[in-house]
């Protein structure tokens, strides 16, 4: 049957990003995710481009998306589509990382047994085939089962693969490693609004402005799949994609997934294009990116990044031990420059987030603890993500250990950087794991978070608090690495790892009931601690900087047409509120007076409870809504119901406004950690 066979007219493509299993064999899935998959967005955009260009001729192409980290796999729908007459169905398991490979392989075998065409791609397949001299046994078994493996980047060849799928002539293996795509002409990933509703912040997207990295870290897989030569998209193309996403979905927050944005040859042109979107079009663009530790030495890089909307930068610091850096091939890192690096980014009002690896061969428990103390107290990043050194397939470390015959765990599900998978020369696996968990507890202890929040730029205060909420709940409540964790864990009863017994309904319900109650208590505990931190670190200057007038919407013209007019109007709003603020700050009553008042006025307890509830509402409002752009109203819709550009986007720092409401309430609430702001200090702050 050919593509143009009149008996065949439809190709159903299911793009699925598989999740991983937890230690009990349950799927790692959450009610709401945090980081959407850029690979899923890329493949969706490429498939839509194939349909737009009619690469398959008269064949109707339909595409469906599923991110298993936040969605249930539509298994029945896939099987139903495979049984339809005159229809071919393809299940594409995309962006498969090493820890996700067991789940992907299980799905591939399950659906191949039902006659569904299956493809698998991602860094595990590509890295393994790129580095090892022979195809491993588990990949050969999948090929023998009729599964197609895709090695390399597929941007320039996806249309040909779909043409083969439509014709029923898929090859067992596609190797595109020698033909790196030209990103300057490749379609830019577009967001799918239906999928984004599964994430905490619907207006947060991903975009890769470039690929590759010139450095040669031994633990890295990216350089052996995407290469060390930098390839990048055109600045105008990036800006156009961001503008289109904003008009259609309101998306204005991005994670640039480039492994090293600082080495993108077009970084200056891209930043200038983003500055134009912010300053001339009034788009409230904000983004985070990954850069190397020499980026602060690039002239104008930090200054232009701040103007372009960068609010957070991820730095691959990896270690404070020079011997460990040499072990990992991080010759570009200079420990003596770490503090200056952090200060340079902080000086531009940008949050710093460092990646830190525990378990290099020269690491000992004592040296790691000392280095972590220096990281916390001397270097002082705002956030840190800790990883256990893992020889991921596709890295030079994995090739070296495989060649040397070193024993490594056979279960790929454990290769998630928070399980020890090899023996360490200086410590036992149990000690290594305990040290890793200690690093999370120590850095994200309330005392350190209070120091970080106190020094954070005012404009980033809410953002940093949101990140702490994510990281604290991930490590303390969900018990997973934050970068693999969302909010509110789900555990499907029947979809469990092969070999694990499926529980009965009653037993599963009882166990999940206890786990859910413990999870909710954990969330409440973390929220309460962060609420106290907010009052302790934000209260004094927020109480005098914001009033309820901050919630009044400013005109869209002031923001879109001339940002300076918006600043003038905001200043006028603060001026109007000044006469009312002196009355709002009153001397704090003594504890004895409060007890007497409560005894003589029982209804006062009701008022206190109501105030506490309003406090929590304002706090949660800022935590989960502060990052969303505030629009004056929906834009016009097309006949297909697609929303076009929003009317007069009026973006205000909603986090600051919510913080103002929160602290205004905190001034009247009876809190154990109430801040003490006197009339004199408030007046002095206003005058300053």
Q: Of the ranges 62-76, 303-317, 453-467, 500-514, which one carries the lowest mean pLDDT score? A: 453-467
Tens digit of pLDDT for each residue in 116-162?
999 999 999 999 999 999 999 999 999 999 999 999 999 999 999 99
Helix segments in 546-678, DSSP class H? 556-561, 563-584, 591-600, 603-625, 654-666
DSSP-based three-state secondary structure for 368: helix
> What is the per-residue pLDDT for 278?
94
> What is the per-residue pLDDT for 685?
36
> What is the per-residue pLDDT for 201?
84
Is a pLDDT exceeding 60 seen at residue 547?
A: no
Is a pLDDT exceeding 60 seen at residue 388?
A: yes
Give the 3-state DSSP-derived string for 4-57, with helices as H, strands as E and coil as C.
CCCCCCEEEEEEEECCCECCCCEECEEEEECCCCHHHHHHHHHHHHHHHCCCCC
Tens digit of pLDDT for each residue in 264-315?
999 999 999 999 999 999 999 999 999 999 999 999 999 999 999 999 999 9
Q: Of the ranges 21-35, 243-257, 307-321, 635-649, which one carries the lowest mean pLDDT score? A: 635-649
Model confidence band, residue 678 (pLDDT cutoffs 50, 70, 90): very low
Is a pLDDT exceeding 60 seen at residue 658?
A: no
Q: Of the ranges 44-58, 164-178, 432-446, 601-615, which one carries the lowest mean pLDDT score? A: 601-615
Give domain limits for the chain: 10-175, 202-443, 541-687
The pairing of beta strand 87-93 with beta strand 286-291: unpaired
> What is the per-residue pLDDT for 410?
95
Is a pLDDT exceeding 70 seen at residue 206?
A: yes
Is a pLDDT exceeding 60 seen at residue 556?
A: no
Q: Of the ranges 40-44, 279-283, 463-467, 639-643, which one carries the lowest mean pLDDT score? A: 639-643
Superfamily of structural domain 202-443 = Aldolase class I (3.20.20.70)
* Fold category of 10-175 in CATH: Rossmann fold (3.40.50)
pLDDT, greater one: 471 or 458: 471
pLDDT, greater one: 426 or 649: 426
Q: What is the mean pLDDT of the chain?
A: 82
54 Rama sector, left if φ>0, alpha if ψ -120 to 50, beta otherwise: left
């752009």: which residue's tokens? 629
Average pLDDT for residues 574-596, to the nearest whole number?
42
Tens digit of pLDDT for each residue in 167-186?
999 999 999 988 889 898 88
């Amino acid at each position: 049957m050919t593509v143009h066979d009149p008996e065949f007219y439809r190709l159903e493509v299911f793009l699925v990003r598989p999740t991983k299993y937890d230690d009990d064999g349950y799927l790692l899935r959450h009610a709401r995710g945090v980081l959407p998959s850029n690979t899923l967005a890329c493949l969706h955009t490429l498939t839509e481009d194939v349909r737009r260009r009619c690469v398959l001729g008269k064949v109707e192409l339909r595409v469906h998306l599923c991110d298993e980290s936040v969605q249930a796999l539509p298994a029945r729908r896939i099987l139903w589509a495979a049984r339809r007459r005159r229809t071919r169905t393809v299940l594409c398991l995309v962006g498969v990382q090493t820890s996700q490979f067991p789940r992907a392989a299980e799905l591939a075998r399950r659906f191949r047994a039902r006659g569904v065409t299956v493809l698998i791609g991602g860094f595990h397949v590509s890295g393994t085939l790129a580095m090892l001299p022979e195809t491993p046994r588990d990949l050969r078994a999948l090929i023998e089962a009729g599964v197609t493996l895709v090695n390399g980047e597929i941007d320039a060849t996806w249309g040909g693969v779909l043409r083969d799928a439509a014709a029923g002539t898929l090859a067992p293996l596609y190797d595109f490693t020698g033909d790196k795509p030209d990103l300057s002409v490749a379609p830019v990933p577009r967001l799918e609004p239906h999928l984004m509703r599964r994430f905490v912040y619907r207006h947060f997207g991903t975009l890769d402005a470039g690929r590759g990295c010139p450095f040669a870290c031994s633990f890295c897989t990216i350089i052996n799949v995407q290469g060390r030569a930098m390839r990048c998209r055109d600045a105008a193309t990036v800006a156009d994609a961001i503008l289109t996403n904003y008009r259609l979905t309101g998306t204005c927050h991005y994670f640039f997934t480039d492994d090293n944005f600082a080495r993108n040859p077009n970084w200056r042109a891209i930043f200038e294009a983003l500055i134009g979107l912010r300053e001339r079009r009034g788009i409230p663009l904000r983004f985070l990116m990954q850069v190397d530790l020499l980026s602060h030495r690039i002239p104008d890089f930090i200054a232009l990044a701040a103007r372009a909307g960068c609010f957070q930068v991820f730095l691959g610091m990896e270690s404070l031990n020079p011997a460990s850096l040499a072990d990992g091939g991080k010759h570009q890192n200079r420990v003596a420059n770490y503090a200056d690096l952090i200060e340079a980014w902080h000086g531009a009002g940008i949050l710093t987030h460092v990646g830190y690896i525990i378990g290099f061969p020269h690491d000992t428990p004592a040296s790691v603890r000392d280095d972590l103390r220096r990281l916390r107290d001397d270097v002082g990043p705002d956030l840190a993500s800790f990883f256990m050194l893992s020889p991921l397939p596709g890295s030079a470390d994995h090739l070296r250990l495989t060649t040397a015959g070193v024993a490594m765990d056979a279960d790929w599900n454990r290769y998630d950087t928070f399980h020890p998978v090899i023996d360490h020369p200086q410590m036992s696996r149990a000690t290594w794991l305990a040290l890793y968990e200690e690093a999370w507890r120590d850095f994200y202890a309330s005392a350190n978070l209070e120091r970080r929040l106190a020094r954070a730029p005012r404009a980033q205060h809410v953002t940093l608090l949101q990140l702490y909420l994510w990281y604290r709940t991930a490590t303390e409540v969900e018990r997973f690495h934050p970068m693999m964790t969302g909010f509110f864990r789900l555990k499907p009863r029947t979809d469990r790892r092969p070999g694990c017994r499926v529980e009965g309904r009653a037993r599963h319900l009882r166990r999940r009931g206890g786990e859910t109650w413990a999870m909710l208590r954990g969330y409440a505990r973390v929220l309460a601690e962060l609420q106290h931190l907010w009052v302790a670190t934000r209260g004094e200057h927020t109480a005098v900087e914001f009033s309820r007038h901050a919630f009044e919407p400013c005109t869209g013209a002031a923001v879109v047409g001339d940002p300076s007019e918006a600043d003038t109007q905001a200043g006028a709003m603060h001026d109007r509120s000044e006469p009312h603020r002196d009355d709002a700050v009153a001397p704090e009553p003594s504890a004895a007076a409060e007890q007497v008042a409560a005894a003589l006025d029982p209804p006062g307890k009701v008022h206190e409870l109501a105030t506490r509830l309003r406090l929590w509402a304002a706090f949660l409002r800022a935590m989960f809504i502060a990052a969303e752009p505030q629009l004056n109203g929906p834009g016009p819709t097309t006949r297909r119901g697609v929303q076009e550009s929003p009317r007069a986007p009026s973006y205000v720092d909603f986090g600051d406004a919510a913080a103002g409401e929160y602290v205004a309430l905190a001034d009247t609430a009876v809190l154990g950690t109430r801040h003490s702001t006197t009339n004199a200090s408030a007046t002095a702050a206003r005058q300053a």
